[in-house]
């Protein structure tokens, strides 16, 4: 039951006046720099590096894509795909300039192809003694060889010699040098292809032999 005393209750907002616009002082900012909190460690705190502004695109033209800078290092392949393949081309050019010829690249393919490559080397040294090779490998069962002569265009005679060696390799077993043809393991469609004779094809299909560093490795039965 409420009891009335007849006294006027105290106003809790007494003494507070309405603030006029513009008369309120803003609170101090709390955005404090880390180096101000640790003055003794200012040297250890790296300064912020402003990010370069992207070039503005002209009206009607697409904005050029931003590319992440490649990491430092002589053999770094960071960057776009074009930069990667240009770097690989440069590596091949440096290898060619270093004096790599076919005998130094024989380990890239099987021993069955070594004699035909040695014949090609002898033929090239007659016409272009200072020739260089930027690539020797097996791909899709065929021989791939890239020759550089130091001229703007590879002489036609060099092209003919290289093409003849590639054609000969396509009919020569990469394992033993006998007559062969490109085949896959067990002649399965869509499989790994190598140029092999019938005997080596059976062993290769059974995973008994493989080519490692220019030689034939035979696995124990």
Q: What is the pLDDT of residues 25-62, one digit of tens each?
A: 554 444 545 455 445 544 444 555 555 565 565 666 66
State pTM to two decimals: 0.56
Residue 201 CB partners (closer than 8 Å, separation 6+):
180, 183
Selection from 38, 63, 33 nearest residue 48 by Cα: 33
Q: Quote the pLDDT of residue 83.
A: 44
Q: Give the pLDDT band (50/70/90) at residue 163.
A: very high
pLDDT of residue 191: 87
Q: What is the per-residue pLDDT for 15?
A: 59
The pLDDT of residue 154: 79
Distance of CA 29 to the CA centre of its chain: 49
Contact 175, 68 (CB under 8 A): no
**pLDDT per residue over 76-135, tens digit each?**
333 333 443 344 344 444 444 445 899 999 999 999 999 999 999 999 999 888 899 989
The yes-or-no verdict on residue 208 having pLDDT over 80 is yes
Going by C-beta distance under 8 Å and a sequence separation of 6 or more, which residues neighbour residue 71?
78
Q: What is the mean pLDDT of the chain?
A: 74
Rounded Cα–Cα distance for residues 174 and 214 (Å): 10
| 187 φ/ψ sector (left φ>0, alpha ψ -120 to 50, else beta) | left
């Amino acid at each position: 039951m409420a009891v009335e005393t007849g006294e006027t209750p105290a106003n809790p907002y007494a003494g507070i006046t309405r603030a006029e616009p513009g008369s309120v002082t803003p609170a101090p900012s709390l955005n404090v720099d880390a180096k101000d909190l640790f003055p003794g460690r200012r040297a250890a705190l790296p300064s912020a590096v402003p990010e370069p502004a992207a070039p503005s695109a002209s009206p009607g033209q697409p904005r050029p894509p931003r590319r992440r800078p490649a990491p430092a290092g002589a053999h770094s392949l960071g960057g776009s795909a074009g930069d990667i393949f240009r770097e690989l081309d440069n590596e091949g050019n440096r290898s060619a300039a270093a004096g790599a010829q076919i005998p130094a690249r024989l380990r890239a393919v099987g021993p069955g192809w070594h004699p035909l490559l040695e014949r090609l080397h002898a033929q090239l040294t007659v016409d272009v003694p200072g020739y260089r090779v930027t690539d020797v490998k097996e791909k899709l069962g065929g021989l791939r060889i890239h020759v550089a002569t130091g001229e703007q265009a590879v002489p036609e005679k060099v092209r003919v010699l290289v093409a003849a060696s590639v054609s000969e390799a396509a009919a020569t077993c990469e394992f033993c040098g006998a007559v062969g043809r490109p085949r896959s393991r067990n002649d399965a469609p869509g499989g790994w292809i190598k140029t092999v004779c019938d005997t080596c094809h059976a062993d290769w299909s059974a995973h008994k032999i493989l080519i490692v560093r220019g030689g034939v490795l035979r696995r124990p039965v």
